[in-house]
Every structure is written in structure tokens, then in C-alpha cells.
Amino acid sequence: MSSHTILADRHTIQEMQAYYQDYLISPVPYSQFRAKKPGVVITAYQSGKVLFQGSDIENEVAIWSSMSKEKSQVFLPPESEASTISTKCLIGSDEVGNGSYFGALTVCAVYLDPEHFSLVQQLGVKDSKLLSDSQIKHLAPKIKASIPYHLTTCPPAKYNQVNQKQNANAIKAILHNFTLNQLWQKLNSNQQKACEGILIDQFTPEKRYWEYVSDQPKNCPGPYYFHQKAENIHLAVACASIIARAAFLESLVSLGQPYGIKLLSGAGTAVDQQGRDLVQAHGPQVLNQVAKYHFANTKKILNHNKK
């Protein structure tokens, strides 16, 4: 059996986990995920090391060795750029729900000029991860009433349909691109002229993003900036994350209503139990309507109900 190890950053490992979602198996200690395909087992450790083992590892190693080199060149923009764009008039976009088994995938884009910085700060805008659900639900309508935005909600049934041909990151890229285009069309000519760029909360290498949307219409002229934790760089992304999260939370309620429940967020053991209860009451087809079917949770839920 051959083996090979590469070093990968956190975002590459996240992309690998999404790429191998259908092949995930039980992790080993100190690993972030483990996947098994014919001829190869891939183990990604929390240290950043990714181990490939098996009789047919060359193709898999080639894919991610190349990606690691790309990441070192384009994934982390200079800190000076981050500080410069924080004061620009920008459109910022972010997505919510990609890590949750139940619920929609929501993407929001927000146009924010410096004249409105103080307004959104007074509202209490910051990274949505630092806000409670009740604060999110309170803030989102105020932001929506104050600044231009566009929200796109992709329900699980649609997500699962597209996922038959596109991986998770491709779906996110297409949704970001669509949402940005829709917002751009809402802006008046003065706002379009004032816009100094597009900032996307980065979930995939810039090169991959453009590959994913290569056949999609593009109305926003840019320039485009791709940053990790972009909600901490520009208030436009922070606003977008709040609106997107509020819509995601609403989807947990609306998608659960036909079954008399509120769906749970996340992908843990409580989610598995709720999934098993749903399948027992309504049949396995219910998962296609309320969940992202390619998650490993689906196999655990269905295998348990076979016992």
C-alpha cells in the first residue's frame, strides 16, 4: 500500500471535505475528516496534514497538491489590501447554511457606501456569528430597510437537484454570482459609478470561483476581492451575513411547519435523531425536502432506520 502526505490550509481542507462528502467514513483521533474511495483513503488531520493511503492514490494526490500550490499564491490577499478596502464603497456577499444539514442555503449581497457606515454601526452590525438568533432576527429587517441588498434562498429540494451535477462549492459560487448580479441591477447609475469593488467572503480559491461561474452571466464590473472572514474587513459583508442568517433561520421554521416541528441547525447527533424521527413518520423521501442530501447525516439516518 502506498502513502503520501501533503500540507493544506484550513480552507483547502474544508473544500476537500465538501468534495469527498459522499465518501466520508468515521474519523480517527485528531482528524478533521476521513474519506474512502476505491483504492484510496484520505485522512485530513487538524494539524493541516492530509494523508493519502492505498493502491491508487496518484490522481487524488495530484488534485490537491496542485491546489495547495495555488492557495499559497492566491488564497490569502495582503493585509494591506484588507485595510485599504475596509473604507471603500463596496458590495459585499456572504452565505449561510452550507454547514447545516437541515435548512436552506442563503446568500446575500449588500451595497454599502461610507456615508452609511455609522448608520449600520449604530444598529449594532457585526459578524453574525457573534450575535444571538434573536439579535439576528431583530437586526435583519432594519438593515434591509436602510441599504440596498439582494437575498437568494436555495431550498433543499433545489439544492439537491443541482448537487447531482455540481459540488457544494460550485453551488455557492453560482449563487454568489447570481445574487451579486441581481443587486447590481437594483442599483441606480450613481450607486454603480460609486461602487469601488466586490468583496466575497472566501470559501474557495479565486481561480476555482471563476471556473465555477465561467458559463454564468456577470454584470458586476469589479474589481473583485476574495478574503477569509470578510465580515471582519468590511461592514457590507457583515450586513450580508446577518440578512442571510436571518433567512436561514426562517427556513428552519418554514420547512419544518408541514411536519409540525422546527428543524435544528448544524449537523450533529441531535440533527441525526430529528432526521430519524422524520423518516419514521414521513418516509425517507422527506429528507430531500428538508435536508442537504449529500451530507453524511443521510447515510447515518437511513442506515439506522433499516435496523
Which residue has cell 478533521? Answer: 32
CATH code where residue 85 lies: 3.30.420.10
Q: By mean pLDDT, which of 20-34, 48-62, 70-84, 214-228 is the weakest?
A: 70-84
Same-domain check for residues 51 and 183:
no
294 domain-assigned: no
Q: Does residue 286 register a pLDDT over 60?
A: yes
Asked if 241 and 235 count as a contact pair (C-beta separation under 8 A), the reply is: no
Res 17: pLDDT? 84
Distances (CA, A) of 7 to 4, 49, 50, 72: 10, 5, 6, 11
- Torsions phi, psi of 204, nearest 5? -155, 155
What is the edge-to-edge ordering of all strands in the sheet holding 198-201?
Answer: 149-154, 105-112, 90-96, 198-201, 224-227
Task: Report residue 10's pLDDT band, with 50, 70 and 90 as the boundaries.
Answer: confident
Parent domain of 243:
79-254
Same-domain check for residues 170 and 249:
yes
Same-domain check for residues 31 and 165:
no
22 domain-assigned: yes
Considering its fold, how many domains does the chain have in total? 2
32 domain-assigned: yes
Same-domain check for residues 86 and 212:
yes
Considering the chain, what is the average pLDDT of its residues? 88
pLDDT tens-digit map of 84-124 = 898 999 999 999 998 899 999 999 999 999 999 999 989 98
pLDDT tens-digit map of 233-245 = 999 999 999 999 9
Q: Does residue 77 register a pLDDT over 80?
A: no
Tell me, what DSSP letter sits at residue 291?
A: B
Same-domain check for residues 147 and 185:
yes
Same-domain check for residues 242 and 105:
yes
Asked if 238 and 93 count as a contact pair (C-beta separation under 8 A), the reply is: no
Furthest C-alpha separation in the chain: 63
pLDDT tens-digit map of 154-209 = 999 999 999 999 999 999 999 999 999 999 999 999 999 999 999 999 988 899 99
Same-domain check for residues 128 and 105:
yes
Same-domain check for residues 57 and 90:
no
Give the closest residue to 288 by CA, choosing from 179, 176, 163, 180: 163
Rounded Cα distance, 53 and 150, in Å: 45
Q: How many CA atoms lie within 13 A of 59 on its CB side?
A: 6
Q: Residues 6 or more apart from 178 whose CB is under 8 A from it?
A: 107, 152, 216
Q: How many CA atoms lie within 13 A of 6 on its CB side?
A: 21
Task: Tell which of 228, 254, 280 closes a domain.
Answer: 254
290 domain-assigned: no
User: Quick one: three-class SS letters along 220-231?
Assistant: CCCCEEEECCHH
Give the pairing of strands 105-112 and 90-96.
antiparallel
Res 305: pLDDT? 56
